[in-house]
Amino acid sequence: MLHKRIVVLILMATAIIAVALAGCTTPTPTPSPTATPTPAPTATPAPTAAPTGTSTLTIKGKVAHQLDLTTSTLSGYEQKTITVLGKDNVSQTYTGVSYNKLLDDAAPTGDAATVKMTGSDGYSNSIALSKIRAQPDAIIAINADGSLKSVIPNESKGAWVGNLVTIELE
């Protein structure tokens, strides 16, 4: 009888450990970019806290090279820090990748005129490609939580799409 109890206890302990270990290992898929971005060769990124999460940004549409970029890939680009007036006219500092550098890597086709930005919540806003090209300080900011945000100085805050997941050139 004692022998059966020991066997049952060992089986229960093994089952509990197996369940606990199964919850500890969740593989994270790593999407491959469809085009290889070219980070600045000797750039030193501005000191920032490492993002805690991962987002993927797809740049598609009227481009020669569709880009699928993770937060990690974007962190490999030269980082730019800007300070702008944000919500309620409060000065805010953002760090991220030059919007124009990402557009250069995607290589918009000659008939691309509009940039449509869409967030993970479905919010989207469109802006003329020429307006972004005219803003050397426009960036895709990498937030501390790993989410992405378009920050386009001198444009309405409605053009600043948070939780950015897609940029489509139309």
Looking at residue 42, the DSSP 8-state letter turns out to be T
Domain count along the chain: 1
Does residue 24 lie in a domain region? no
Q: What is the reported pLDDT for 53?
A: 64
Does residue 37 lie in a domain region? no
150 in Cβ contact with 105 (< 8 Å): no
Does residue 30 lie in a domain region? no
Does residue 74 lie in a domain region? yes
Q: Please give the residue range of the domain that contains residue 107.
A: 56-169
- Taking the C-alpha atoms of residue 98 and residue 136, their distance in angstroms, rounded to an integer, is 8
- Taking the C-alpha atoms of residue 59 and residue 52, their distance in angstroms, rounded to an integer, is 23
Does residue 25 lie in a domain region? no
- Taking the C-alpha atoms of residue 157 and residue 139, their distance in angstroms, rounded to an integer, is 14
Tell me, yes or no, if the pTM score tops 0.75: no
Q: What is the reported pLDDT for 61?
A: 98
The closest alpha carbon to 140, from 129, 132, 128, 148, belongs to 148
| 116-152 burial: b if 16+ Cβ within 10 Å, else e | ebbbeeeeebebebeebeebebbbbbbbeebbbbbbb
Residues of the chain with pLDDT under 70: 1-53
Does residue 12 lie in a domain region? no
Does residue 89 lie in a domain region? yes
Q: What is the reported pLDDT for 44?
A: 35
Does residue 1 lie in a domain region? no
Q: What is the reported pLDDT for 88?
A: 80
Q: What is the reported pLDDT for 99?
A: 98
Q: What is the reported pLDDT for 45?
A: 36
- Taking the C-alpha atoms of residue 100 and residue 167, their distance in angstroms, rounded to an integer, is 12
Q: What is the reported pLDDT for 156?
A: 85
Q: What is the reported pLDDT for 4?
A: 67
**Which domain CATH number covers 100?**
3.90.420.10
